[in-house]
């Protein structure tokens, strides 16, 4: 099962005229008391950098972005066997990967941009900031889309070649579209980057807008298949909504609801996620944050899955965050899974 958003972004960047970089290390301890009880340790090192091509070579409004992932550790979902996964930094192949490498050119006084290269679909599509603290993969990207493709779509931990176009108006309404190789694979994966689009392409379009209330709707479809190894003719739609209940983004409550449906050969027919996050839980702890979420997925055949997650995070040092969490999952076959987790995030620089 593909994961979604891997880690919170590092808050510190090494600034310069030409280059800036970020690094964040995330480690999870996952324990289940079911049966005799089991424990897994897994981690993710995220290294990113941005090169200002204007300052370097005079290419106005152009930037090159690259990101490297290093993942090791256990596989709780591989052992427990859920529909949607359990931890958004779990990988099936622990290794080092070139996660992103794209060039972006802005135009129209910064309202428009085009990106091309190895691209994380979930960085801009089917994403809600209010759910990004939760570690369950479904809160990053809906399962009806993340379960497609022979190796998942172009999301964590393996991306694919893509071209993305975006335009935003003065009222923060936007439209964005991407054409992505249907076979995810990057440097560090077996076979490397697919240059031939052998399994066709995935097309995604999303429109949205808003400030205090943010909304988006999107549609996706696989096409131009040359073989039958992915999810040919799979297609779907989704919608997102977030609402800040107060004007204080850092300390207020934000609600979110997301959902999508698929057709064709996509293995998951429907998924739904909803929940809330609260910043500044304690007046004396401005960096504290509490998030809760509900998720549901219905497989195209028999079986559905329902789950709940609660997570509390706080900084214990200027660059170090500790986040305990709890998940309860009702998996197919009448199985009940309880998961306790402890996430450590270190912003290395």
Question: pTM of the full predicted structure?
Answer: 0.92
Q: Which residues of 93-112 are buried (b: 16+ CB within 10 A; e: fewer)?
A: eeeebbbbbbebebeeeeee
Give buried/exposed letters for 248-283 (b at 16+ CB in 10 A, else e): eeeeeebebbbbbbbeeebbbbbbbbbbbbbbbeee
pLDDT of residue 249: 67
Domain count, the chain: 1
Reported as a single tens digit per residue, the pLDDT across 88-130 is 999 999 999 999 999 999 999 999 999 999 999 999 999 999 9
Conformational region of residue 198, where left means phi above 0, alpha means psi within -120 to 50, and beta covers everything else? alpha
Residue 171 lies in a domain: yes
CA–CA gap between residue 142 and residue 258 (Å, rounded): 8
Range of the domain at 53: 19-347
Can you tell me the distance from the alpha carbon of 252 to that of 245, in angstroms, rounded to the nearest whole number? 7
Let me know if residue 5 belongs to a domain. no
What pLDDT is recorded for position 291?
A: 98
What residue has token string 């080092």?
96
pLDDT tens per residue, the chain (349 residues)?
Answer: 433 333 333 332 344 579 999 999 999 999 998 765 799 999 999 999 999 998 888 889 999 999 999 999 999 999 998 999 999 999 999 999 999 999 999 999 999 999 999 999 999 999 999 999 999 999 999 999 999 999 899 999 999 999 999 999 999 999 999 999 999 999 999 999 999 888 999 999 999 999 999 999 999 999 987 777 788 889 999 999 999 998 776 689 999 999 999 999 899 999 999 999 999 999 899 999 999 999 999 998 778 999 999 999 999 999 999 999 999 999 988 899 999 999 999 998 7
Dihedral sign computed on CA atoms, order 107, 109, 110, 112: negative
Token pair 């004396």 is at which residue?
284
Domain presence at residue 10:
no
In a domain, 79, yes or no: yes
Q: Is residue 121 part of a domain?
A: yes
Q: Which helix (H) or strand (E) element contains residue 180?
A: strand 174-181
Flag whether 6 is in a domain.
no
pLDDT score for 9: 33
Strand partners of residue 113? 106, 166
316-320 CB contacts, 8 Å cutoff, 24+ apart: 319/11, 319/12, 319/346, 319/347, 319/348, 320/344, 320/345, 320/346, 320/347
Q: Which of 103, 81, 78 is nearest to 91 (CA)?
A: 78
SS3 265: coil
3-state secondary structure at position 146 = helix
Closest CA to 333 of 299, 310, 293, 295: 299
In a domain, 9, yes or no: no
Instruction: Note the pLDDT of residue 290.
Output: 98
The structure tokens listed for 118 are 């190895």
pLDDT at residue 36, as a whole number? 59
**pLDDT at res. 225:** 77
In a domain, 4, yes or no: no
What is the domain-level CATH number for residue 259?
2.40.160.180
Tally Cβ neighbours within 10 Å of residue 178.
22
Question: Strands 304-317 and 235-244: what pairing?
Answer: unpaired
At residue 226, the pLDDT reads 72
Q: What is the DSSP letter of 122?
A: G
Residue 302 makes CB contacts below 8 A (sequence gap 6+) with 332
């Amino acid at each position: 099962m593909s994961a979604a958003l891997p880690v919170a972004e590092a808050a510190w960047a090494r600034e310069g005229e030409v280059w800036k970089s970020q690094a964040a290390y995330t480690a999870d301890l996952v324990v289940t008391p079911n049966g005799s009880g089991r424990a897994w340790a897994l981690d993710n090192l995220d290294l990113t950098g941005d090169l200002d091509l204007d300052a370097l070579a005079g290419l106005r409004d152009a930037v090159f972005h690259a990101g490297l992932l290093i993942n090791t550790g256990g596989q709780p979902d591989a052992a427990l066997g859920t529909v949607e996964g359990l931890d958004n930094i779990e990988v099936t192949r622990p290794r080092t990967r070139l996660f992103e490498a794209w060039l972006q050119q802005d135009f129209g006084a910064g309202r428009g941009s085009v990106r091309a290269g190895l691209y994380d679909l979930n960085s801009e599509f089917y994403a809600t900031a209010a759910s990004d603290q939760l570690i369950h993969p479904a809160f990053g990207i809906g399962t009806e889309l993340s379960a497609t493709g022979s190796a998942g779509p172009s999301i964590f931990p393996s991306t694919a070649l893509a071209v993305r176009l975006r335009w935003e108006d003065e009222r923060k309404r936007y439209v964005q579209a991407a054409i992505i190789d249907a076979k995810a694979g990057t440097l560090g994966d077996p076979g490397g980057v697919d240059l031939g689009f052998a399994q066709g392409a995935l097309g995604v379009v999303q429109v949205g807008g808003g400030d205090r209330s943010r909304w988006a709707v999107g549609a996706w479809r696989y096409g131009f298949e040359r073989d039958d190894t992915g999810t040919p003719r799979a297609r779907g739609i989704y919608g997102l909504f977030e609402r800040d209940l107060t004007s204080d983004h850092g300390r207020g409550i934000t609600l979110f609801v997301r959902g999508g449906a698929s057709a064709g050969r996509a293995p998951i027919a429907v998924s739904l996620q909803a929940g809330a996050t609260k910043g500044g839980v304690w007046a004396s702890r401005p960096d504290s944050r509490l998030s809760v979420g509900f998720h549901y997925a219905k497989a195209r055949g028999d079986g559905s899955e329902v789950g709940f997650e609660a997570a509390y995070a706080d900084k214990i040092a200027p660059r170090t965050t500790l986040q305990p969490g709890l998940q309860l999952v009702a998996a197919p076959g009448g199985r009940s899974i309880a998961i306790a987790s402890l996430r450590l995030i270190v912003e290395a620089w």
